[in-house]
Structure 1
Amino acid sequence: MATKPNIVLILNDDMGFSDLGCYGGEVETPNLDRLAKGGVRFSQFYNTARCSPSRASLLTGLHPHQTSIGVLTYNMGPEGYAGNLNDRCVTIPEVLKGSGYRSYLSGKWHVANNLTQPTDSWPLQRGFDAFYGTIIGAGSFYDPNTLTRGNENIEHEAREPGFFYTDAISDNAVEFIRQHRREHADKPFFQYVAYTAPHWPLHAHDEDIAKYKGRFDKGWDKLREERLERLVASGILDKAWPLTDRDPTQPAWTQARHKEWLLRCMEVYAAQIDRMDQGIGRILRTLEEEGQLDNTLVIFLSDNGACAEDIPDDLTVDELVNKLMIAKEHTRTGEPVQFGNDPGVMPGPENTYQSYG
């Protein structure tokens, strides 16, 4: 690279490493597979077990407790658990600014505990030159809470026909790159792309879900065995390493109830990753069109690996909507949202709000 490289850092949410095609998974991820083939696949990479601490460490290079993000963005009292990115750390964009970089964020923030008013812990106040995304950590893909541009709430934009948050994150990342090349072509850029997919709720486009119909019908026991075989064959895992035990809270697939619903959950989850990969493809094409792909370092990772966290049964709709601010009671057209993992309700559409089972 003859000049300072651009940096595109892509982070997704609650995805297991072996879900990707290039790590032995069943999901079609041709764009990430392309990056893996032409780059390096990590096999000893560590993150934290929760979302916000991983993000805080990634942004600052510090242990998460040093940033005050010990768990999530709730103030739990002690300084290490204040839940708000503190003023005793510096972020990637703050550091890069001194080297002439401009920085952009498209997607999820989730390292600030004030969700409605700009604070010193919001993206623009922590070094980013432009921001589009959500301050909160989760929510509807059709109508997300805390949707923000800069420091301004723009939740009304999600009510436009066809809005889907994964697509919006990709589209805004593309536009940030194009705008940078139009207005600041003499400077390198740092583009942070923080997808919420495939975090619940299980929302996806019908056409993406349809691609995976039947893909998981063998059930999780057989699928786990096949994934391990592919990981060993590709050199990611040592053949001497046995398959880990199944989650003790889950039955053998042959004994599982509500198989139709469980398979649908897997299909929607796969569709969420598929849609993200499509967006990554648009970002890579934009870099090519702008003549910047060969001068750009592209890094992809997940915040905390595969998630076994359901929406708690004892969490009320009022708490989801008004306290946690990660859901809305009605769709954009006024239809009631059906909350909870009811096997009689298939996940995917806007009027559902379900987790993994």
Structure 2
Amino acid sequence: MTVRTIEWRAGEVILIDQRRLPRKEVYRVCRNYRQVAQAIRTMVVRGAPAIGVAAAMGVALGARRIRHPKSVGSVMERVFRTLEDTRPTAVNLHWALARMRRTYEENKDGGLELLKQRLEDEAMEIYEDDIAANRRLGGLGAGLLKGSRRILTHCNAGALATAGYGTALGVLRAMKESGAAIDEVFVDETRPFLQGSRLTAWELLKEEIPVTLITDSMMGYVMQSRQVDAVVVGADRVAANGDVANKIGTYTVAVLAQRHGVPFYVACPTSTVDLGCPSGADIPIEQRSQDEVTHIAGSRIAPDGVHTLNPAFDVTDHSLVSAIITEKAVVTPPYKKNLRAVCSSTSLRYT
């Protein structure tokens, strides 16, 4: 992607404001950790891997502003707590913050300037690891989807949802780079935040990958009429048993895919797998503002006073998942055994 989702530049975090896409490419400059937290909370930056990277950079910003060594402990605890409380479902946020906390604990007694540098280095390593892992994931996914020429995806799991390459769209990007023929990618709107119509369609057009936008209610039609060879989506958290939390509506796609004999693939780095979470029943589901349901682009579309429900995510049972594509391997059932084996293997470095 020529457009960068997130960038560290001279002690500032630069984010493309995803709320303004596709009509405007507006960049937000975060100069402190509170601004990063607000950007995550308000979905200036979104997508589980991108949230993790942004949070890591937020920690580095928080440390960078410390002037007195005696205040390090209290300030850093406040930084970690503020960023941890931004969004509950995406586990990459907590995974990245755990890495940053480990670096903090290992270097907090080595001097303030060294601590600042170590935290900045770790944040940049998380950023670079995300891109490299997703490229590897994309290559494995491209091999798995070989021969699938008509693909459906839900929400946005592209460069905008990561540090730069993408998970589900990273698979499509890798397919194109390998010379595989893609006849059509169906993108549903993904109400209520419209990540599909605003973001995924925009990314695919930029990559010159054939894209057809449909409403969420058309998913059954395109599968019933045999227009879809495979479904590939991203994830915000994968439980130890293979249950998958992803953007609301993913469960619907998975049920329809199984009903019509269409393979349903999940693409995510191993940082999205939470082995400490036994099943999808244990994943916290973020509830968001009713305005996202009652309004579109600031205009009210529902009557005043109507009750709304707005869970940001749902959980897809592992029995509906054909395979989980990670940067280490394509994981197939039984997920409880195979996810643990893959995620517990020696961590890979991509340079």
* Common fold: TM-score over 0.5: no
TM-score normalised by length of structure 2: 0.31
**Higher strand residue share:** 2
TM-score normalised by length of structure 1: 0.30
Between the two structures, name the one with larger relative contact order (CA 8 Å, sep ≥ 6): 1
